[in-house]
Amino acid sequence: MAAITPIARCATYSMAPLDFLNHLLNFVAPAFSVGFLCAILGRFSMRRAAKAPAWWAQGAINFVVGVAVLAAGLIIFGRDGKMTTYAALVVACGTSQWLVAGGWRR
């Protein structure tokens, strides 16, 4: 009997739809929390620009940027949850918030 390698075990594993949804939501949860936290705290720490979008639009933009950073970290490192990826997430969301709120105009 041949030994099953870890790669062969992973190739035969099928994931139920609820398991997939659970993994997907846990993957994007850091981007959601950091993105909307930046948007909400940005309202208190920065002066409101004349043409700045609403807080929920800023949070949505930060969320999309955060998911892109998390996906790039998954592709580059081959796994999720690296502290380098989370540091890049914080920097990217902070920069996105500064750009969306019009911080360069001051």
Q: What is the pLDDT of residues 66-99, one digit of tens each?
A: 999 999 999 999 998 899 999 999 999 999 999 9
Distance in angstroms (rounded) separating the CA atoms of residues 25 and 29: 6
Distance in angstroms (rounded) separating the CA atoms of residues 5 and 13: 13
pLDDT at 74: 95
Distance in angstroms (rounded) separating the CA atoms of residues 34 and 70: 12
The whole model's pTM is what? 0.81
Q: Quote the distance between the C-alpha of residue 2 and its chain's center.
A: 41
Domain ranges in the chain are 17-105
Model confidence pLDDT, tens digit, residues 6-55: 555 555 678 899 999 999 999 999 999 999 999 999 888 876 666 778 88
Query: Residue 102 gets which letter from DSSP?
Result: T
Distance in angstroms (rounded) separating the CA atoms of residues 71 and 92: 13
